[in-house]
Amino acid sequence: MTTKMNKNGVSTCKAGENYEKFQMTIGRKRRTFYHYDYRDMADNGLFSCVKPTLEACRHERDKWLSRKTGGMNQ
């Protein structure tokens, strides 16, 4: 997969969120996915995932942030 969000396999995401929509063929069906990166401003941590919807990506990001802060982001 070619992506504008990576350079030589390393994420180029700045602080905040960055996402890219792409399509893959699985079997005979063409599916749409989102490659989502989020760079935390507090500690420069990087969260990255691929999900079928942007909402699912943001939900996973929120769970990641909650685990990082000990559940205080709920």
What band does 65 get if pLDDT is binned at 50, 70 and 90?
very high
Work out the angle at residue 65's Cα, subtended by the Cα atoms of residues 53 and 45, and round it to the nearest 5 degrees: 100
- What pLDDT, on a 0 to 100 scale, did the predictor assign at position 43? 87
Global pTM reads: 0.76
3-state helix, strand, coil in the chain (%, to 5): 20, 45, 35
Secondary structure letter of residue 59 according to DSSP:
H
